[in-house]
Amino acid sequence: MAIRAALDVGSNSIKLLVLDVAEDRSYKVITDESVVTGLGRNLTPGSALDAESCANSIDVVRQFAARARDLGAEEIVGAGTAAMRRAGNGKQFIMEMNQSTGLDIRIISGEREAAIASEVAMREIPGEHEHVVLFDTGGGSTELSWFHDGRLEGDSSIALGARYLTDELEITHPVGDGMRERISNYVLSKLPDNAVGPHRGGELVAGAVTLAGLGGTASLIVWLMQGLRSEEKSDPHLKVVTSAQLALLLERMARMDLEAVRSMKNMNPDRATVVFAGVSIIRGLLRHYGVESFILTDRGLRYGLLLSDIMQPSGA
């Protein structure tokens, strides 16, 4: 067994995962935690990352690295995602972060991000499925990977993330009917030319896929649905969320002011400003693919950095 750590430096949050990994890549989770830093706040293509968020992010990475070492991590790998790909100073920021922390965090492409996360996630989904589309809705983008009989057929990275959409459409609470329609139309307009999946005669085959969700937004949805039932949050892995549940959650949150959203049971208050956009994106994916539910697999990029065949720890 070897103790290894991974850092996922995302557009909205930074995640630390520490695993005790065996030679066959079975593992035990030592810690899995995250801190919201809002690195991609108000970011447009080519613009600079927010200076305060950059400083906070470097501090969080430094603290996470120290924690990983205290827990016995022999290796620490890391990846920067959508915000760093989109920002004009993304490479400079990563260089400053690495100089400050002594790490070797690298910006990865959206396609590679999707491939790394999906390889691990596919191992977790129970049963046999002809077509599976994995999605990971982060702060700055949504990554999609389409598998046919277990083999990767296509992937894409769409500039459609919870923080990006919140800033782009200036979403505030309460969310009026006009804004809700604008959000829905915007999300659906981004998918036909970008979403992968089985097509026939140039048209997507509706209802043909099993939709599986990765990432913090999908996990938060499970926890919020548990909260609406007055339940404490539990491991979200392999929970199923229906389209009707997403509609109910959006309806509830739309009527709330921001403080009420922050106070929802099982809410991470730091995600309150962007959660409506994130849920809207995922509901749009269900509508686009013509399915009534998705299954959550809570084993995304951070797990892939340590367990994937595509990117082993020394290659991050």
pLDDT of residue 315: 38
One-letter amino acid for residue 284 of the chain: G
Q: With 0-12 CB in 10 A as exposed, 13-18 as middle and 19+ as buried, what is 101?
A: buried
pLDDT of residue 17: 96
**Alpha-carbon Rg for the chain in angstroms:** 19
Give the domain 2-109 fold: Nucleotidyltransferase; domain 5 (3.30.420)
Residues sharing a CB contact under 8 Å with residue 308, sequence separation 6 or more, in sequence order: 115, 116, 119, 120
List 17's β-bridge partners, or say none.
Answer: 6, 32
Q: Inform me whether the pLDDT recorded for 105 exceeds 70.
A: yes
- Provide the pLDDT confidence category of residue 291 given band limits of 50, 70 and 90: very high
pLDDT of residue 202: 83
Angle at 89 between CA 88 and CA 93, to 5 degrees: 155
Q: With 0-12 CB in 10 A as exposed, 13-18 as middle and 19+ as buried, what is 157?
A: buried
User: Do 126-296 and 2-109 have the same topology in CATH?
Assistant: yes
- Provide the pLDDT confidence category of residue 186 given band limits of 50, 70 and 90: very high
Average pLDDT over residues 71-79: 95
The token duo for 152 is 């990767």
Nearest CA among 191, 262, 251, 189 for reference residue 220: 262
Q: Tell me which architecture the domain covering 126-296 has in CATH.
A: 2-Layer Sandwich (3.30)
Helix orientation angle between 275-289 and 215-228, rounded to the nearest 10 degrees: 100
- Residue ranges per structural domain of the chain: 2-109, 126-296
* % the chain with pLDDT above 90: 70
Mapping DSSP to helix (H, G, I), strand (E, B) and coil, where does residue 264 land?
Answer: coil
Q: What is the pTM of this model?
A: 0.74
pLDDT of residue 309: 61
What Cα–Cα distance (Å) separates residue 183 from each residue in 83, 135, 167, 179, 187?
21, 19, 12, 6, 6
Task: Report the C-alpha dihedral over residues 72, 235, 119, 37, rounded to 10 degrees.
Answer: -70
Nearest CA among 261, 172, 190 for reference residue 220: 261
- Provide the pLDDT confidence category of residue 316 given band limits of 50, 70 and 90: very low
pLDDT of residue 311: 45
pLDDT of residue 127: 84
